[in-house]
Amino acid sequence: MRVWHGLEEVPADIESVATIGIFDGVHRGHQKILSTAVRDARRLGVLSVAVTFDPHPAVIHRPEGIELIMPLSDRLEQIAALGVDAVLVAKYDLSLASLSPYDFVQRFFVDALGVLEVVVGEDMRFGKGNAGDVATLHELGDRFGFDVTEIVDVESFEGRRWSSTWVRQALAAGDVSLANRILGRNYRLRGHVEHGFKRGRQLGFPTANLNSQGVGFVPADGVYAGLIVRAVTGTRACEMLPAAISVGTNPQFDGEERTVEAHVLGRSDLNLYGEDIAVDFIARIRPMKQFDSVEELLERMDADLLEAARVLGAPPTGRIRPEEVTAQ
């Protein structure tokens, strides 16, 4: 998939079927829109192009900003997996935000992308003050000579439309199972494995401590069943390791920094320090809490490991003897 960072990188004289959006999370609703653009572009023999923005418009317009579900690199990866030919990443700033709907369509869709068709969701807004909507796009399509395909909101069994907001709400509540259903895949958080306090190793639960700052939405504090995903050296394959994941400040030991720690079930031989890995969240086992004693904590952690193994369909495992851990 080609990625153009700005209009100046778009080749001249192309024709396309285009769509537009932030696509944060690339959830089921986004997938329907993007897949329709790909299908129609192939039928017409032109490029399928997604127009997206970086940073998120909320970063510019709201002082509090927004916590993204995934970074731009992950967005592009998921869009590419749907077969989109190219993505135009437009720098979002006040200058772009000031474009009228007419000027935006002419500059991006007509002059740059040579659109034959634009595929959008029914709630799309564009142009200065979000003045443009689907009706506006139809009017401009008639003027400039392109078709508009409107995708009616794809709804869940609950009757609620798939949305990035719903994903964030689910993650904030720790309901990663719901988030996964909205996304149509496991929620994934990426980060760099760093050295921690090594308390888990001393207790029989060695963990990979993930520096996840700025790389995704960290779910609510708690213990989760999931997978560590690591690249296989020298190949494009990935190794999927069943894990119990802890998110929180470690209240048992008066921790203050919020961390993501993953314990690979039954493994004492892994050395993940310094690696860039991903953690897939499958299901929440329990919320985070402080126990009356370390012994009570250990009993609960033993139960957490068994529950994680059950959820993941992995062999049941127990604690690792500290002297068996090979990672330094």
**Catalytic residue (one of 139, 158, 239, 261):** 261
Instruction: From 116, 115, 95, 17, select the one nearest 53 (Cα to Cα).
Output: 95
> For this structure, is 261 an active site residue?
yes
What distance in Å separates the CA atoms of residue 268 and residue 88, rounded to the nearest whole number? 45
- Say if residue 290 is exposed, middle or buried (CB neighbours under 10 Å; 0-12, 13-18, 19+): exposed
What distance in Å separates the CA atoms of residue 13 and residue 234, rounded to the nearest whole number? 39
What distance in Å separates the CA atoms of residue 195 and residue 198, rounded to the nearest whole number? 8
What distance in Å separates the CA atoms of residue 147 and residue 18, rounded to the nearest whole number? 11
What distance in Å separates the CA atoms of residue 146 and residue 155, rounded to the nearest whole number? 28
CB 260, CB 247: distance < 8 Å: yes
Q: Per DSSP, which regions of 81-237 are E strands? A: 86-91, 115-121, 147-151, 187-194, 208-211, 222-231
- Say if residue 6 is exposed, middle or buried (CB neighbours under 10 Å; 0-12, 13-18, 19+): exposed
19: Cβ contacts below 8 Å, ≥ 6 apart: 33, 34, 36, 37, 49, 50, 51, 118, 119, 120
CB 241, CB 279: distance < 8 Å: no
CB 212, CB 293: distance < 8 Å: no
| Active site positions, annotated | 261
